[in-house]
């Protein structure tokens, strides 16, 4: 059955393209990855393709840690149609699955027709699926195929078509850049340049805007920027601290930290009415809010017990509950999409790691082994998270699976990178 899926690129950002890219280095995968053959796609055009689609798909699946793509040089045949598939060839290579396809020029873009086979059972899982993109959409085409293959085999929705934002600090020119890129670090774009620090970028739930903290007004202020138009709105301008914005699940409110009343407290703001509501009222330092999945609670960091720990407050009132008890430092919590786990910065043996905690049982699991890990952000499928760390003394981004079985690092080719945030799924 042929299903036509049309992708029209909607990156209408007016910002310039950055030359500094993130490069991925896989440091750990599962012990027995699923072997898969991604055959180089047959191309019927005469003008060379600007991107190698089959290579992008192979790299996507390899980065997931769940798959071990076969090197094309080791393949015994290169089928591009169903009648060309000889299952024996792929069984000899230990392949469990096989992807083949054809790329044809179409109007001002390209059309990919691809199929996925279960080699062991000799069954067709995807038959002649069609993807059509504009001329600059080959990477989108590849990521879409990766998502489809990954989900059908693992049962987990793929995140290869999602994006990340992060802050890049170029010390040589004393410049901070708010960056956007594919989840693999490709196609970086500059959203904002500033000579003053940029902090805490975070995606809106619909993926159309970001909120962040900028010091461009000589003190910290919270801005919201539309990613399609580039239009910015300044949300706060109080004396003292204005920080740590976090979107509500419906995108109508921000939770944030203000010290306008003399102490660091958690507030929410309704973005339509610009009405503020105070959530916490304590002499301790309350900071780093995030929303629970139900949209009725705020999870935040506080030292009200003497050391930084994670707490939960009902936005309608009714008291504050402490969530973390293991270790003397837990901070910067983020809630998993299933609402059952949080990830956080957790100190153990005087080293800062990223850890997860099951909210129901309180069970804590350390996910990372690097030093000075911070700013975790969870992928929308809940299977991976991205965080900031140090590599050879330089700020870098890294990713780890929630079961700690898969890890990769994304060092920057220019400047320190920090403060990552993983996008939601795009509609």
Which of these ranges, 3-17, 99-113, 180-194, has the smallest mean pLDDT?
3-17
Provide the CATH number for the domain around residue 130.
3.40.50.10070
Number of domains the chain is built from = 2
| 143/170 same-domain check | no
> Do residues 74 and 127 share a domain?
yes
pLDDT digit string (tens) for 63-88?
888 899 999 999 999 999 999 999 99
- Are 242 and 139 members of one domain? no
Domain membership of residue 206 (yes or no) is yes
| Domain range enclosing 95 | 32-154
Q: Could you tell me if residue 13 is inside a domain?
A: no
Same domain, 238 and 275: yes
Is position 17 within any domain? no
The burial of 2, by beta-carbon neighbours within 10 Å (0-12 exposed, 13-18 middle, 19 or more buried), is given as exposed
**pLDDT given for residue 414 in this prediction:** 75
The strand order across the sheet containing 407-410 reads 25-28, 407-410, 394-401, 384-391, 374-378
Residue pLDDT, tens place only, 397-407: 999 998 878 88
Task: Specify if 68 maps to a domain.
Answer: yes
pTM: 0.90
Query: Which residues fall within 8 angstroms of residue 168, CB to CB, at 6 or more apart?
Result: 18, 20, 176, 177, 179, 412, 414, 415, 416, 417
Contact criterion met (CB below 8 Å) for 411 and 25: yes
Domain co-membership, 228 together with 371: yes
Same domain membership, residue 134 and residue 172: no
Each residue's pLDDT tens digit, 19-59:
456 766 667 766 789 999 999 999 999 999 999 999 999 99
Q: Same structural domain for residues 418 and 271? A: yes
Judge if 111 and 201 occupy the same domain.
no
From 132, 154, 176, give the residue that closes a domain. 154
Residue ending a domain, among 104, 127, 154, is 154
Closest CA to 223 of 271, 190, 281, 282: 271
Go through the chain and tell me how many residues it has. Answer: 427
> Residue 23 falls within a domain, yes or no?
no
Question: Residues 234, 380: one domain?
Answer: yes
Residue that finishes a domain, picked among 100, 124, 154 = 154
> What is the CB-side half-sphere exposure of residue 354 using CA atoms within 13 A?
28
pLDDT at 427 over 90: no
Scored b (16 or more CB within 10 A) or e, 333-365 reads bbbbeeeebbbbbbbeeeebbbbbbebeeeebe
Same domain, 180 and 147: no
The pLDDT tens digits for 230-286 are 999 999 989 999 999 999 999 999 999 999 988 999 999 999 999 999 999 999 999
The predicted structure's pLDDT at residue 180 = 96
- Clarify whether residues 150 and 168 are in a common domain: no
């Amino acid at each position: 059955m042929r299903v036509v899926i049309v992708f029209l690129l909607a990156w209408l950002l007016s910002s310039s393209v950055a030359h500094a890219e993130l490069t991925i280095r896989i440091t750990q995968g599962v012990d027995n990855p699923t072997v898969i053959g991604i055959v180089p796609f047959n191309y019927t055009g005469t003008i060379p393709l600007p991107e190698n689609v089959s290579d992008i798909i192979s790299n996507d699946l390899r980065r997931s840690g769940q798959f071990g793509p076969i090197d094309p040089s080791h393949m015994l045949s290169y089928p591009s149609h169903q009648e060309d598939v000889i299952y024996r060839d792929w069984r000899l290579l230990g392949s469990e699955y096989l992807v083949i396809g054809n790329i044809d020029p179409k109007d001002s873009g390209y059309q990919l027709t691809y199929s996925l086979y279960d080699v062991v059972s000799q069954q067709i899982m995807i038959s002649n699926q069609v993807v059509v993109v504009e001329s600059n959409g080959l990477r989108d085409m590849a990521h879409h195929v990766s998502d489809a293959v990954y989900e059908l085999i693992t049962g987990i929705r793929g995140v290869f078509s999602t994006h990340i934002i992060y802050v890049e600090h170029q010390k040589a020119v004393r410049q901070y850049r708010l960056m956007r890129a594919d989840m693999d670090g490709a196609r970086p774009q500059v959203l904002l340049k500033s000579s003053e620090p940029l902090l805490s970028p975070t995606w809106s739930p619909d993926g159309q805007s970001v909120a962040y903290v900028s010091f461009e007004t000589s003190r910290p202020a919270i801005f919201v920027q539309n990613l399609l138009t580039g239009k910015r709105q300044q949300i706060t301008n109080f004396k003292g601290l204005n920080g740590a914005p976090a979107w509500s699940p419906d995108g109508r409110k921000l939770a944030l930290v203000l010290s306008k009343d003399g102490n660091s407290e958690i507030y929410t703001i309704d973005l339509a009415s610009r009405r503020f509501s105070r959530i916490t009222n304590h002499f301790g330092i309350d900071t780093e809010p995030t929303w629970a999945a139900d949209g009725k609670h705020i999870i935040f960091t506080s030292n009200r017990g003497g050391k930084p720990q994670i707490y939960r407050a009902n936005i309608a009132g009714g008291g504050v509950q402490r969530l973390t008890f293991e270790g003397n430092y837990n901070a910067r919590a983020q809630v998993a999409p299933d609402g059952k786990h949080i990830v956080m910065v957790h100190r153990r043996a005087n080293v800062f790691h990223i850890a997860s905690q099951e909210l129901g049982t309180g069970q804590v699991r350390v996910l990372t082994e690097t030093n000075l890990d911070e700013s975790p952000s969870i992928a929308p499928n809940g299977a991976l998270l991205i965080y900031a760390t140090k590599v050879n003394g330089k700020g870098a981004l890294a990713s780890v699976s929630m079961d700690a079985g898969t890890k990769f690092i994304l060092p920057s080719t220019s400047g320190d990178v920090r403060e990552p945030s993983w996008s939601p799924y795009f509609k």
